[in-house]
Chain A
Amino acid sequence: MNTSDLIVVGGGLVGTALAYGAARNGTRVTVLDEGDDAFRASRGNFGLVWVQGKGFGMTPYARWTMRSAAQWPQLAEALNTDTGIDVQLRQPGGFHFCFSDEEMQAREARMRSISDALDGNYSFEMLDHASLKARLPGIGPAVAGASYTRMDGHANPLKLLRALHAACRHHGVRFAQGSRATRITPQAGGFEIEAGTATWHAPRVVLAAGLGNRELAPQVGLFAPVQPNRGQVLVGERVARFLDHPTTYVRQTDEGTIQLGDSLEDVGLDDGTTADVLSTIARRGVRSFPVLESLRLVRAWGALRVMTPDGFPIYQASTQCPGAFVVTCHSGVTLAANHAFSIAPWIAGSAGGGAPAGIESFSGDRFLNGNETFQHAH
């Protein structure tokens, strides 16, 4: 019998973080993972563990993000203990560059607003060109300044995904690969889920299917109106260390690779790359750090973010079908610690695992009024 305590629909960063968190507490978990033809956002992201700028206009999201960043060292440690994989977490503080005085003013207003809403428990700095140059000598003359918080960091997103999969297996999670869930039927004592020719049963189910959540959520009385938003990324050769801090558009991995991002494109389910967007990304990278002009590029890709109308996550327990949950966000790296340590125990019904404080702010019902103006969250 294909039975377990909890079925996680989706084997990306969100699904595996939830499965890992639940399995650590003894829950028997099955993960239904669609396969390599899925739009795998978890294989295309930039790898920031990012706080600054997030939660503008939605203070609970600022708090939620700060909490996950603060818990990230524990997650990295737990994964290393369980799997021996170092996910290369570094949290040295991050910079967001501005290229004009107007951008600086808008950025400061945004940061100030978030800080005020948090009663000042949000330390940030606005740095003019000279102060920024003192900290990052490589910046170019086109950079007007930057905002900085010490809360920001980065990790290796592919190593994170691999570590989460390995850690899940270590704790006995069963993976059903090539299993695209198509129908979820509430029945006595739980749910029946159809995936291909197989049928799975569990008293609890969480939808962590990225863009697939849009179709699946209504089957269990939930609402997750997510849409794709494309980001393109350029990857350069490995070079000697020149940048210790993550920035919004340029970062250097632990192993020396330069990553340049990103774009925000409303192009439906097209995860390809385009020369015009990639050249814009490259140009901005060189304006940020002129030395990048000689960087040899190795790869480029596009990936689809999973965006809600307001850019903030959805966490919700179904009242119509108790035992069903939906989790969706576009920050699967940053929020991984919260997903493993706070959301998973709630979903699994573990001892002491009640609903995280303030979780009702993230209900998908906030979109039932038809307000679907899409925007970006950081």
Chain B
Amino acid sequence: MPTNVRFRSLVPADASPRGEPMVNLFFDGRGLQAPAGCSVAAALLANGVSTFRTTPVSGAPRAPYCMMGACFDCLVDIDGQPNRQSCLVAVAEGMQVKTQAGLRSFDGADAVIAEEAAHVE
């Protein structure tokens, strides 16, 4: 499934639409900016992120589909919490967002590689 971003910001990426203050956050270590009040999903899309997660079953890349909390395709790790729905979380200053790679594990460590964890036979 192609996940290339088709959103285009109506204003320059580092300017806020209605004069909101800009917030600094990170995606996989890369610094991004987004207007306060914006969802993490919208912030990532506006900054050209095309893969939010890989699926636990096939490892295929995924990006947001519904943007309203129903599809679970926008899952990311936010500040160490895995499998967060990025369309339902507002950006915050200094937020650390990471790709959700396959399954999360319970031990607090990073998500495990899909094939290995899913016991694919």
Contact = CB atoms under 8 A, between A and B. Distances in A.
Interface of A: 237-242, 254-256, 291, 294, 296, 298
Contacts of B83: 237, 296
B26 interface: no
Interface residues of B, number: 13
A240 B105 contact: yes
Given A254-B119, A255-B118, A239 B57 contact: no
Interface in B88-107: 103-106
What are the 3 tightest A-B residue pairs by CB atom distance, in nearest-first order?
Answer: A240-B105, A240-B117, A240-B112
A238 B106 contact: no
A152 B105 CA distance: 26
Given A256-B103, A291-B106, A241 B117 contact: yes
Contacts of A237: 83, 104
14 contacts: A237-B104, A238-B56, A239-B103, A239-B106, A240-B104, A240-B105, A240-B106, A241-B118, A254-B118, A254-B119, A255-B118, A256-B117, A291-B106, A298-B72
A237 B117 CA distance: 14
Given A238-B56, A238-B103, A296-B83, 18 more contacts: A237-B104, A239-B106, A240-B103, A240-B105, A240-B106, A240-B112, A241-B117, A241-B118, A241-B119, A242-B106, A254-B118, A254-B119, A255-B56, A255-B57, A256-B56, A256-B103, A291-B106, A294-B106
Contacts of A256: 56, 103, 117-118
Contacts of B72: 298
Main secondary structure of the interface of B (DSSP, over half): loop
Contacts of B117: 240-241, 256
Contacts of A296: 83
A238 B106 CA distance: 11
A242 B57 CA distance: 16
Contacts of A240: 103-106, 111-112, 117
Interface in B56-104: 56-57, 72, 83, 103-104
Contact of B105 (A239, A255, A298): A239
A254 B106 CA distance: 17
B76 to A, nearest CB: 13
A163 B47 CA distance: 42
A237 B111 CA distance: 13
Interface in B29-61: 56-57
Nearest to B58: A255
Contacts of B103: 238-240, 256
Contacts of B104: 237-240
Contacts of A291: 106
A254 B118 CA distance: 7
A239 B117 CA distance: 8
Contacts of A298: 72
A349 B50 CA distance: 58
B110 to A, nearest CB: 10
A257 to B, nearest CB: 9
A256 B72 CA distance: 15
B115 to A, nearest CB: 12
Most buried by B among A239, A240, A254: A240
A242 B112 CA distance: 12
A377 B112 CA distance: 39
A365 to B, nearest CB: 46
Contacts of A242: 106
B24 to A, nearest CB: 26
A11 B105 CA distance: 38
A235 B58 CA distance: 20
Nearest to B111: A240
A255 B120 CA distance: 9
Contacts of B111: 240
Contacts of B57: 255
Contacts of A255: 56-57, 118
B100 to A, nearest CB: 10
Contacts of A241: 117-119
A256 B119 CA distance: 9
A255 B105 CA distance: 13
B119 to A, nearest CB: 6
B70 to A, nearest CB: 10
